[in-house]
Structure formats: C-alpha cells, structure tokens
Amino acid sequence: MNYAGTGNEKAVAASDLNRTHVGLTVSFQPDEFTVVFGRIGAIARKEGGVTIALAGVDGTAGLASHYSLPPAQLVYVQPDMLTNTETTIKDLFGKVQENLRSHKGDQRPDTV
C-alpha cells in the first residue's frame, strides 16, 4: 500500500508538525499495512522522530492511540475550514472596501 492522501489534504513532514496542528484531522501511513485517519491530540518531538497521539483513542479494540514517525514521514492534514472561511471573509471584505473607496457616488439622477 502506498498512501498519498486525498486531493484536499496538504502533505506535511512529521518534523514540521507543531502546536498549530493539534486538533486537526490527519491521515498517514505508519507502516506498509496501515493507514490512519484521526485527529491529533498531541505531538511529541524526540531525537530521531515525532510521536503523534490521536485524540479520543484509548487503545481499545486494537487501535493504537499514538504513532512514532520518522521526521521525513508525510502526514496529510485536512484543511482547517474555520481558517479558510476567515481568510475568504477577510478577502471579500477588503474587495468591498476597495469598491466603496473607488465609488464616487451614484451618477444617476434621483427618480421618485
């Protein structure tokens, strides 16, 4: 198996994961037989690797609650919808402000 994420996920090296990724939904392939989908609960950096703890997984039913990954291992991060929405709103608000500034007033005569 050679998992490469989905079209809307962003590939991030395990060594580049930081506190901003905690709480985000991710997918990765820790070994040749397993693909993991989950939400990051914690990230621990240690010499030679990165450990990802999954939120809401307690190790029952054969599911591992944490995975140790080499620094170069790709982790596929789902886009943060709130941040994307906030950026879109800010962009649109900027365009509206620009349009209002460039508008000199209504050039049409008043008709009642």
Written as one string, the DSSP assignment of 76-91 is EEPP-HHHHHHHHHHH
The per-residue pLDDT for 90 is: 76
The per-residue pLDDT for 1 is: 72
Strands 49-54 and 10-13 turn out to be unpaired
pTM of the model: 0.67
Angle (CA) 82-59-10 rounded to 5° is: 30
The per-residue pLDDT for 74 is: 92
- Please name each of the domains of the chain with its CATH number: 10-102 (2.30.30)
- Is the distance from CB of 53 to CB of 36 less than 8 angstroms? no
* CA gap 65, 73 in Å, rounded: 18
The per-residue pLDDT for 71 is: 92
pLDDT in single tens digits along all 112 residues of the chain: 788 888 888 899 999 998 888 988 999 998 888 889 889 999 999 888 999 999 888 777 778 889 999 999 999 998 766 655 666 777 788 888 888 888 766 555 666 6
> Could you tell me the end-to-end alpha-carbon distance of the chain, in angstroms, rounded to an integer?
71
The per-residue pLDDT for 86 is: 66
The per-residue pLDDT for 85 is: 66
**Per residue in 1-18, is it b (16+ CB within 10 Å) or e — as a string?**
eeeebeeebeebebeebe
